[in-house]
Amino acid sequence: MEWLKQNYERAALIVAALALIVCSGLIISNALSFPTQFTGRDSTTPKDNTIKPLPVETIAEAKEVTEKPKNWTPHDASLFVSRPYVLKDQTLIDPLATGVNLHEPITNSWVQKYDLPYWEGDLKDQDPDADHFTNLDEFLANTDPRDKASVPPYYTKLRLGRFISKPFRLIFTSSPDGGQTFAINTKDKGGRTQFLEMGAMIEGTPYKLLSYKPLKVMKDDIEVDTSELTIENTETGQKIVLVANKEANDPTSFAEFNYLYDGSKFTVKKDDEFTLAPETSRKYKLIDISEREAVIKDLQSGEQQKISPVK
């Protein structure tokens, strides 16, 4: 250390000389490796200017793909949103799938077809096109719930409100002179017995005597009169056969209908014709009526339809 202190300048010169020698060695080493590093870039090597053949098959395949692009497959939900689900009776239901319908008897597929709000509880009672027919009516008739011109038959809005019968009874009791005059009792018209000749009108009724057939049968060794007297309703042409001493009801009856289309009520007599608004050009006929149902006939198509009572 004493020497370094006394010969500082000489020591520095020695260190500098050594550093110069090391750098020179590195430069010489790198220079010697130049040929190896630039072999691939030797400009003295002649270039290959030969034109390579085009990949015809690859180009043909690419052309075919561009001429027939792949079609998108149908997607029943948003690209970035999962399928919708509805919670019903503690169960998650996929409205886009089959199996469990959200609004029985309407199917999920029908709801999706017409883009109806399947998540709303009153969907069956909704009327999107305001044509007085609910979604349920349209589904049952297979019509378009969003097209006001597409409607179910108007008779589907008809309900039997009340069955009305005309309460009077006729009893043919006898023919005291063997078919010349006939004893008729009208029990609901005061109970008075009328003695009438063939062709005469029964007082207080629209019926007249039409024909007579005398009959006798043996019952328990006793001769019983079962003669038949046929009468005719002069208003409707309907015939009724009265059997001796047996009660017969007047078949005149009416149907009181509730028309749900406009909330109206109207009464129709059996065998009479009627129309339904707004389709007033189409006529119907009431052909049968009871407390359980009414039967009407479409006079244009000839089809018969049963009308159920109001629930």
| pLDDT by residue, tens only, the chain of 311 residues | 666 666 767 777 777 777 778 777 777 777 777 666 656 555 566 677 777 777 778 878 877 877 776 666 655 555 565 677 777 777 777 777 667 888 889 998 899 899 999 888 899 999 999 999 999 999 999 999 999 999 999 999 999 999 998 767 889 988 888 889 999 988 776 678 899 999 999 988 889 999 999 998 888 888 888 999 999 988 878 888 999 988 887 777 899 999 999 999 999 998 899 999 999 999 999 999 988 999 999 999 999 999 999 98
Of the residues 103, 123, 152, the one at which a domain ends: 152
* Residue 142 is assigned to a structural domain of this protein: yes
Asked if 220 and 263 sit in the same domain, the reply is: no
Question: Would you state the structure tokens that stand for residue 81, as one six-digit string?
Answer: 């949103």
Find the domain containing 176 and state its range: 167-249
Asked if 222 and 259 sit in the same domain, the reply is: no
What sign for the dihedral angle of Cα 298, 301, 302, 307? Answer: negative
Residue 137 lies in a domain: yes
Distance CA 152, CA 123 (A): 18
Same domain? 209 vs 267: no
Q: State residue 236's pLDDT score.
A: 79
Is the pTM higher than 0.75? The answer reads: no
By the 8 A CB rule, do 120 and 112 touch? no
Q: Do 182 and 139 share a structural domain?
A: no
The verdict on 244 and 258 lying in the same domain is no
Is 265 contained in some domain? yes
Whether 271 and 238 share a structural domain = no
**Which pLDDT belongs to residue 48?**
72
Query: Does 140 share its domain with 175?
Result: no
Asked if residue 143 and residue 94 are part of one domain, the reply reads: yes
Check residue 44 and give its pLDDT.
60
Residue 182 has which token pair? 């006939």
Please report whether residue 13 resides in a domain: no
| Together in a domain, 114 and 100 | yes
The residue among 229, 249, 269 that closes a domain is 249
- Residue 195, in any domain of the structure: yes
- 109 part of a folded domain: yes
Cα distance between residue 49 and residue 22, in whole Å: 46
The domain boundary, picked from 207, 222, 249, lies at 249
State whether 177 and 206 are in the same domain.
Answer: yes
113 within domain boundaries: yes
The per-residue pLDDT for 155 is 96
Distance set, CA 252 to CA 110, 171, 308 (Å)? 45, 16, 20
How much is the pLDDT for 168? 73
Do 235 and 190 fall into the same domain?
A: yes
How far apart CA 167 and CA 2 sit, in angstroms, is 152
239-243 sheet: strands from edge to edge: 207-213, 228-233, 239-243
Q: How many domains does the chain have?
A: 3
In a domain, 145, yes or no: yes
